[in-house]
Structure 1
Amino acid sequence: MSSPAARPVAAAPASQPALPDELLEDIFLRLDAAADLARASAACTTFRRVVSARRFLRRYRSLHPPPVLGFLEADRPGAFHPADPPHRSAPAARALAQAADFSFSFLPYPMPNFWNVCDASDGRVLLCRCSSNTDAFADLVVCDPLHRRYVQLPPIPDDLAVPTWVWDMPGFDRFLDPVSKEEKHEEEEEEEDLSFGVICAVQCQHKLVTFHFSSVTGKWRALMFNRVLSLASAFILWIV
């Protein structure tokens, strides 16, 4: 009896060609939710390497601004109001409220209730502490409530403050510098992620004075405008 004909053995499937990192980045940039991006990064080491790269994270944040998780009350440290359902950020907001210290108990002074919230952006909160009602140049700190870290800003130097000082200041504002950072070389990326700026704007009767602090230099600088200039013109001069 003749032996049965041997069945052909199927060839092993050829391995799928790996997608280049540039194409993976373009795919991941189209994910709207950060949670979906986190799930994709957990799929394999290649995805995780692409997603965790600082260059990709900068591009993703530029296209997908951070969602609103809640708001802080200016004169009530610790009063954080997280987003509620059905807002899509409600789960992340609830987790942030549980993990972060919005009472700012880690600050150097024993009574954090004396601090007021001036501004908040990109996970940082700017706080001021006035020793009196007339103390415009107050103590300033930039806090990271999630990691319980802070940077206390040095006082504005007298050689900058005294020549511009007037007693009848109709307006004084303090806020985090909203100007986007320029891209840097890879060896400077970590410093870029940790850097920040603070602006103090003083609107006097006949002039507008701005003080700018940079965490990179650790110094204040001042710029003065004549009030006859329009605000738009002054802003253009400030950017230059």
Structure 2
Amino acid sequence: MASQEPPRRRRRLPPTAKPQEPAATAIHDLGEDLLLDIFLRLPSLPSLVRAAFTCRTFLAVVRSSPDFRRRFRALHPHPLVGFFFEVDGCDVPSFSPVRRRSDPDLAAAVRGADVFLTRLPYHEDADPGWTIADGHGGCLLLLLNSDTEQIAAYNPLTRALHLLPMPPEKKISKGRRGKFNLRDFFLLLSDETPGSLRVVCLCHDKSRVRAVLYSSGTKEWQVLPWSVAAPAQPSGKKHWLRHGRRANGNLYWEHAQQAYMIVLDTTALEFSFMDLPDYLKGQGPIHMIGETKDGRRCMVFTIGFLLLISFWRVDTDGVEKWIIDHTFPLEEEILRATEGTRDDDDELILKVWAVMDGIVYLSSFCGDPHLPCWFLSFCLQTGKLEKLFHRSFFNSHFPYIMAWPPSLIGSSVSP
């Protein structure tokens, strides 16, 4: 009988090891390049500010990359926060916000801003009160009446305030005879040097111009030399230049009667002259100098319901001049936008107020400046017309644009 083999003992298998879950990756573990790529996809500048101040790591990453600032600006235009309006008999201008429900971060920025300008010094007897002369980099440049002779540069979002005196007329008139005129104060800021500022003012006599410059570094006004004589001047006119405009790093003053403009390069502080088309000669402020989204210098004006954009470039004859590049017919859109707020037989007039970052700010009114009108914006890149608000045309107004905050510039974060 064959012997039986003993039963085999089953091998005991080791207990099945539970699979280890992958370690969770927190957003703080991401590298700088990936974080900046995520921040680049945020919808607006207020959203970036909110994200950057979530933690010290995010703030340090955003502050340390000038290249990121350039890329973000190229993708996201500086947001329009609202408009400041000059009000007769008021100590400070009033403010009307632009309400966009789709951007809660912008609404939060408006709520936190000092739009009532409470940090400005109060002068009970000042008449008129503070008036807006210019705005740049999120700051307002305001002037008080000639009795107090005060100038203020104020950022309602950061509440940074600079006070400076008016230019000393004795220093300007020293060593010369004849009358001169001071006009148009402009604020010059640099993104790379937060906290510093310059203010430039135009001085002119019957045939020449010069710049008067204030620097926060020296805290003094510097009177620059007279420029060469202008090509032509009106006879017997005290003010032969219209109010100046800013665009593309330069300041522009149109001659009141001749077809040219005076241009001041704000970096080199040198004057030059630029011809205007003959059809704009002596026509008044029907055009506006500005810049496109990519920083190109442009000129925008209206003829009826046509919006025309011109660029300064070389023509086929080899001469630089203003050349009309594109026309935008707006009659159908304007009539539809203003429907219900005007009579059908009212004659609408379009006026361009400013051209900033490729956005044209304009208004449509029915001839009487005391009647309410629509304030509109038109994007030169997309051709989209947008209604902003309905208000009296008569009050001078200034669009307030949110600039890149100084707190997001730098290479480190203070402890």
Per the TM superposition, whether the score is higher than 0.5 is yes
The reply to whether residue 102 of structure 1 matches residue 116 of structure 2 is yes
Deviation at 1:173, TM superposition (A): 0.7
Q: 1:226 aligns with which of 228, 233, 238?
A: 228
The reply to whether residue 167 of structure 1 matches residue 152 of structure 2 is no
Q: Distance in 2 between matches of 1:200 and 1:118?
A: 11
- Taking a change above 3 Å as real, the CA distance of residues 211 and 57 of structure 1, as seen in their structure-2 partners, is farther
3-state DSSP class of the match of 2:194? helix
Question: Do the aligned residues in 1 keep the contact of 2:120 with 2:152 (CA within 8 Å)?
Answer: no
Which letter maps to 1:235? D
Deviation at 1:210, TM superposition (A): 1.2
Q: Distance in 1 between matches of 2:22 and 2:105?
A: 43
User: Could you tell me which residue of structure 2 aligns to residue 235 of structure 1?
Assistant: 265
User: Could you tell me which residue of structure 1 aligns to residue 202 of structure 2?
Assistant: 201
Q: Distance in 2 between matches of 1:153 and 1:209?
A: 20
Which letter maps to 2:106? A
| Residues 39-95 of structure 1 deviation map (CA, whole Å, 9 limit, x = unaligned) | 644776643442355757854674444311111124552311111346x56873575
Deviation at 1:165, TM superposition (A): 7.7
Q: What is the Cα-based RMSD across aligned positions, in Å?
A: 4.0
User: What is the correspondence of 1:1-240 to structure 2 with a 5 Å cutoff?
Assistant: 6-13=15-22, 18-38=29-49, 40-41=51-52, 46-51=57-62, 53=64, 55=66, 58-59=69-70, 62-63=73-74, 64-74=76-86, 77-85=92-100, 92=106, 96=110, 99-104=113-118, 106-111=120-125, 114-131=129-146, 138-146=149-157, 148-157=159-168, 160-163=171-174, 166-167=178-179, 169=181, 172-177=183-188, 180-181=190-191, 183=192, 192-223=193-224, 224-228=226-230, 231=261, 234-235=264-265, 238=269
Question: Do the aligned residues in 2 keep the contact of 1:82 with 1:97 (CA within 8 Å)?
Answer: no
Q: Distance in 2 between matches of 1:196 and 1:61?
A: 24
Deviation at 1:140, TM superposition (A): 1.3
Which letter maps to 2:173? V
Consecutive unaligned residues of structure 2, counting only runs of 5 or more, are: 1-8, 232-259, 272-415
Paired residue total? 224
User: Could you tell me which residue of structure 1 aligns to residue 358 of structure 2?
Assistant: none
Q: Distance in 2 between matches of 1:94 and 1:42?
A: 14
Q: Distance in 1 between matches of 2:72 and 2:217?
A: 21
Which letter maps to 2:79? P
Which letter maps to 2:265? F
Which letter maps to 2:183? F
Question: Do the aligned residues in 2 keep the contact of 1:196 with 1:214 (CA within 8 Å)?
Answer: yes
Structure with the bigger percentage of strand: 2
Which letter maps to 1:6? P
Deviation at 1:239, TM superposition (A): 5.5
Question: Do the aligned residues in 2 keep the contact of 1:74 with 1:116 (CA within 8 Å)?
Answer: yes
3-state DSSP class of the match of 2:106? helix
Which structure ranks higher in relative contact order (CA pairs < 8 Å, sequence separation ≥ 6)? 2
| Residues 196-232 of structure 1 deviation map (CA, whole Å, 9 limit, x = unaligned) | 2211112432111211112122222222212326756
Question: Do the aligned residues in 1 keep the contact of 2:215 with 2:221 (CA within 8 Å)?
Answer: yes
- Taking a change above 3 Å as real, the CA distance of residues 121 and 168 of structure 1, as seen in their structure-2 partners, is closer
- Taking a change above 3 Å as real, the CA distance of residues 52 and 157 of structure 1, as seen in their structure-2 partners, is same
Q: Distance in 2 between matches of 1:111 and 1:53?
A: 47
Q: Distance in 1 between matches of 2:211 and 2:165?
A: 16
Q: Distance in 1 between matches of 2:230 and 2:129?
A: 37
Deviation at 1:10, TM superposition (A): 1.8
Q: Distance in 1 between matches of 2:51 and 2:160?
A: 30
Structure with the bigger percentage of helix: 1
Deviation at 1:117, TM superposition (A): 1.3
- Taking a change above 3 Å as real, the CA distance of residues 216 and 57 of structure 1, as seen in their structure-2 partners, is farther
Which letter maps to 1:127? L
3-state DSSP class of the match of 1:174? strand
- Taking a change above 3 Å as real, the CA distance of residues 194 and 23 of structure 1, as seen in their structure-2 partners, is same
Question: Do the aligned residues in 2 keep the contact of 1:25 with 1:56 (CA within 8 Å)?
Answer: no
3-state DSSP class of the match of 1:161? helix
Which letter maps to 1:69? V
Q: Distance in 2 between matches of 1:98 and 1:45?
A: 21
| Structure index of larger Rg | 2
